[in-house]
Amino acid sequence: MNNNQNKIQNPETPIPKTPEMNERDFLNDMLSYEKYITASYSTAMNEASHASLYQDIHAIFDETKNLQRELYNLMFQKGWYSLEAEQPQKLQQAAQQFTGYMSQFPHNPPIQ
């Protein structure tokens, strides 16, 4: 399969090539930062020993996660973020692998 047929992307908004940072560079930088900070807040929530502290971090986490999603949507809309479409058989293999992992858990929940 041709690699371009596998790509999910909107038409790219053109940006002049200059040595200065452009809109795409700034958005990409912000998105990378938001991904990093969201992961950090997630770790902080897991390690919060006080319920009130957990709730405060959770509220900030939600705001950060929402901003991350908005940045992703904007970059995708402008064609500056693309995804690779996966072949159905690879998705099925991943689902089977996950089901195998789930069977190893002590509580072994049924997957439907």
pLDDT at 1: 43
Q: How far apart are the C-alpha atoms of 74 and 34, rounded to whole Å?
A: 14
In this model, does residue 3 exceed pLDDT 90? no
Per-residue pLDDT at 2 exceeds 50: no
With respect to residue 2, please indicate whether it lies within any of the assigned structural domains: no
First-last CA distance in the chain: 31
Mean pLDDT computed over 51-58? 97
Judge whether 12 lies within some domain: no
- Residue range 13-36: mean pLDDT, rounded: 94
Residue 40 pLDDT grade (very low, low, confident, very high; cuts 50, 70, 90): very high
The total of structural domains in the chain comes to 1
**Residues 6+ positions from 85 with CB-CB distance below 8 Å:** 6, 7, 8
- Examine the pLDDT at 20 and tell me if it is beyond 60: yes
Identify whether 96 is part of a domain.
no
> Around 43, how many Cα atoms within 13 Å sit in the side-chain half-sphere?
6
- pLDDT score recorded for residue 30: 96
Give me the helices (H) in 15-106, please: 23-47, 51-77, 88-102
